[in-house]
Structure 1
Amino acid sequence: MLFLKEISLVQFKNYEQASFRFGERIVGICGSNGVGKTNLLDAIYYLCFTKSYFTRQDQLSVHKGASGFRIEGKFEKEQQPLDVVCILRETGKKELISGGEPCERFSRHIGRLPCVIIAPDDVQIITGGSEERRRFLDALLSQLDPAYLQALIEYNRVLQQRNSYLKSLTDNRIKDNGLLEVYDSQLVRPGAYVFEKRKTFLRDLLPLVEQFYLQIAGSPEPLAFTYDSLLLDTSFADLLRSYHEKDRYLQRTNAGIHKDDIDIRYGAQPFKSLASQGQRKSLLFALKLAEYEMLRQYKGFPPLLLLDDVFEKLDAHRMHNLLDKVCLQNEGQIFITDTHGDRIRQELEKLKIPCQIISL
């Protein structure tokens, strides 16, 4: 089991200096908007992923007026103590120390402390563009397979180089395909690996999503999921070659795994066009619970689960079903934020679950 026993924050977001101890499996974090509930969850996420869930720039996580931050977490992983420290220096350099040893490559840390977070803006996974669903899938697979993460990093690096080259063609009037084909060959190996992993993994993940949606919604609905990729019909090398002319014209790479999607249908129509707010929330939770379950199966123990403001926009029936699933039917540690401490207590008392409430 993975259990966070204590966390200390120095100059992180709205926390100048603070520490918290966690003694129960279920932890409620309560307080008014703006007091730092979400920031505390983000600090936990930082220790698991070496980055913020909510901002792309580390500097945006520094306390106002400061020039760096320090986060330290004391974990227990499979009955062994594990201290993890994440530091952003004044120079902008970020450091990670795990078990007393500096981590030279952050990508190798991903998956050591498996974690799933559910936040209000995550509904973009359902309603947003394909990049949101790819980001969800990539974050999950990167925790399960270090080779997947490395292939994705390599693919994105070459893709950026290829796109830069395509943008230069108009000015330089270069017509030779030689360099373009070199970039193609460099994209194929990591891209094919990512594609095959996604295709195979989604065969297991998507049925779980349907199962969890039914449990949360409480009644069957005509949902259908499909992996949408041009690579299902042709080889990667042939696909890239067939798009050369279009790529030159638009000055970017128009085909590849960076265009993949998960097509979600309600009957014959796009789910996001017809679904109510409650249905969208239910599907979001179903996706995240499926992520949680896959991590649990692969790792052999439950990941941390961070629930940010999940009581909003779900009716009492759906909320009860969600809490029953995550709190009663799972053994992992769960952190839940809410503006009302009494609401968390009441809901968990109904399920007869002991919990720790932290008021900010």
Structure 2
Amino acid sequence: MFKLENISLAQFRNYGQATFTFSQNVTGFCGKNGSGKTNLLDAIYYMCFTKSYFGKTDIQNTQQGKLGFRLNGQVTVDGKSHNIICVLRENGKKEFGVDNENYTRFAVHIGKFPCVMIAPDDVAIITQASEERRKFIDYTISQLDAAYLQTLIDYNKLLQQRNSLLKQLAESGNMDESLMEVISAQLVVAGNFIYRSRKAFLETFIPVVLELYHSIAEYKEKLTITYKSHLESADFKALLIKNRTKDIALQRTSQGVHRDDLELGLENYPFKTTASQGQRKSLLFALKLAEFEVLLKHKGFPPLLLLDDVFEKLDEARMKNLLVKVCVENKGQVFITDTHCSRLKEALEQLQVSHEIRSL
């Protein structure tokens, strides 16, 4: 069992100083927009991922007019207590550690305390460009496999280096060919590892998503999810050689796993142009709950589940199905926010699960 016992925030977003202690598996936070509900969930997420869920810089996470912030969380995993501390110093230096030992590399923290967040803007996974879907896949696998995360970091660094050489060649006509060969060879090795990892993961992940979608949506429309990659039908090294002239013209690497995508279809049409708002929300929740189930199976205990403003744009039937899955069938810890206290209270009481609701 993984449980967040308490969390303290100092100079984080709109919180000057605050401490929250949690005694129930299901905790609801209600209040008007701007009251700090989302900021509190993001602080919890931060403790698990060493950064904000919303892509904010550490300076943006600091309370207005202040320099630096501090987060302190007490968690229990399988009966053992751990203390997580993050401090952003006034000079901009960030320190992050567990049980009084600071990390030299923040990446080693990822996956130790698994967490799944669902927020309104996550619909971008469905509606926006492929980068959003790759990011979702990468965040999920990275919580399962430290080697994957490190390889992904290495790949992105190598990609930047190769693109810089291509830009140099395009602008000056000169380039260190031996360095290009070394970087490209390393990029191929990392790219092949990422492709194999994604392919293996998605072979088991996609069926879970499809099952959850139909369970939440209560419809039997034909939903398809297909993994697309340049490496499906061609050797990565050969692709880099074949597209070298094109890459020089574009001043970037046009082929590789950094262009991978999940192709979403509904009744043989593109999902994002065909699906209703309810269907989009249902697929989003299916993706996130599939992430939850994969983490649960791999870790042996449920990850924290953070639901930010999930009541909006979902009909009553879909919302009931979702809440049953996350609050009744799930035995882990859940945090839910809503702008309407009465709606949140009524929804949780109907589930007949032990819970608490706090007004912010």
Normalised by the length of structure 1, the TM-score is: 0.98
* TM superposition shift of 1:261: 0.2
Q: Distance in 2 between matches of 1:243 and 1:56?
A: 35
Q: Report the equivalent of 1:169.
A: 169
Q: Report the equivalent of 1:88.
A: 88
Q: Distance in 1 between matches of 2:164 and 2:176?
A: 16
1:106 and 2:106 are equivalent in the alignment: yes
Give 2:286's aligned amino acid: A
* TM superposition shift of 1:52: 0.3
Give 2:204's aligned amino acid: D
* TM superposition shift of 1:134: 0.2
Q: Distance in 2 between matches of 1:78 and 1:307?
A: 24
Going from structure 1 to structure 2, the CA distance change for 1:176 and 1:65 (only over 3 Å counts) comes to: closer
Q: Report the equivalent of 1:319.
A: 319
1:129 and 2:129 are equivalent in the alignment: yes
1:265 and 2:265 are equivalent in the alignment: yes
Q: Report the equivalent of 2:79.
A: 79
Q: Report the equivalent of 2:66.
A: 66
* TM superposition shift of 1:177: 4.5
1:57 and 2:57 are equivalent in the alignment: yes
Return 5+ residue gaps in structure 2 as ranges: none
Give 1:221's aligned amino acid: E
* TM superposition shift of 1:339: 0.6
Q: Is the contact made by 2:168 and 2:175 (CA closer than 8 Å) also made in structure 1?
A: no
Q: Report the equivalent of 1:195.
A: 195
Q: Distance in 2 between matches of 1:175 and 1:63?
A: 46
Q: Distance in 2 between matches of 1:308 and 1:284?
A: 13
1:335 and 2:335 are equivalent in the alignment: yes
Q: Distance in 1 between matches of 2:170 and 2:104?
A: 40
1:301 and 2:298 are equivalent in the alignment: no
Q: Is the contact made by 2:69 and 2:89 (CA closer than 8 Å) also made in structure 1?
A: yes
Q: Is the contact made by 2:31 and 2:341 (CA closer than 8 Å) also made in structure 1?
A: yes
Give 1:59's aligned amino acid: I
Q: Report the equivalent of 2:97.
A: 97
Going from structure 1 to structure 2, the CA distance change for 1:267 and 1:95 (only over 3 Å counts) comes to: same
Task: State the Cα RMSD in Å.
Answer: 1.0
Residues 213-224 of structure 1 aligned to structure 2 (within 5 Å): 213-224=213-224
Give 1:82's aligned amino acid: H
Q: Report the equivalent of 2:206.
A: 206
* TM superposition shift of 1:195: 0.6
Q: Is the contact made by 2:24 and 2:354 (CA closer than 8 Å) also made in structure 1?
A: yes
Q: Is the contact made by 2:26 and 2:333 (CA closer than 8 Å) also made in structure 1?
A: yes
* TM superposition shift of 1:99: 1.5
Identity %, equivalent residues = 54
Q: Is the contact made by 2:13 and 2:62 (CA closer than 8 Å) also made in structure 1?
A: yes
Q: Report the equivalent of 2:359.
A: 359
Q: Distance in 2 between matches of 1:267 and 1:11?
A: 49
Residues 145-184 of structure 1 aligned to structure 2 (within 5 Å): 145-174=145-174, 177-184=177-184
Query: Per the alignment, in what secondary structure is the counterpart of residue 28 of structure 2?
Result: strand
Query: Per the alignment, in what secondary structure is the counterpart of residue 211 of structure 2?
Result: helix
Q: Report the equivalent of 1:120.
A: 120
Query: Per the alignment, in what secondary structure is the counterpart of residue 335 of structure 1?
Result: strand
Return 5+ residue gaps in structure 1 as ranges: none
Q: Distance in 2 between matches of 1:153 and 1:219?
A: 40
Deviates more, 1:99-108 or 1:330-339: 99-108
Normalised by the length of structure 2, the TM-score is: 0.98
Query: Per the alignment, in what secondary structure is the counterpart of residue 219 of structure 1?
Result: coil
Give 1:16's aligned amino acid: G
Alignment deviations for residues 102-158 of structure 1 (CA, whole Å, 9 cap, x no partner): 122110000000000000000000000000000000000000000000000000001
Query: Per the alignment, in what secondary structure is the counterpart of residue 282 of structure 1?
Result: helix
Q: Distance in 2 between matches of 1:140 and 1:56?
A: 20
Q: Is the contact made by 2:165 and 2:175 (CA closer than 8 Å) also made in structure 1?
A: no
Alignment deviations for residues 150-176 of structure 1 (CA, whole Å, 9 cap, x no partner): 000000001011111111112211277
Give 2:63's aligned amino acid: H
Q: How many residues align?
A: 360
* TM superposition shift of 1:255: 0.5
Q: Distance in 2 between matches of 1:176 and 1:327?
A: 58
Alignment deviations for residues 18-72 of structure 1 (CA, whole Å, 9 cap, x no partner): 1111110000011000010000000001100000011341110000111100000
Query: Per the alignment, in what secondary structure is the counterpart of residue 318 of structure 2?
Result: helix
Query: Per the alignment, in what secondary structure is the counterpart of residue 203 of structure 1?
Result: helix
Q: Distance in 2 between matches of 1:179 and 1:158?
A: 11
Alignment deviations for residues 172-206 of structure 1 (CA, whole Å, 9 cap, x no partner): 11277543322210101111111100000000100
* TM superposition shift of 1:309: 0.1
Q: Distance in 1 between matches of 2:206 and 2:198?
A: 11
Give 2:140's aligned amino acid: L
Q: Report the equivalent of 2:44.
A: 44
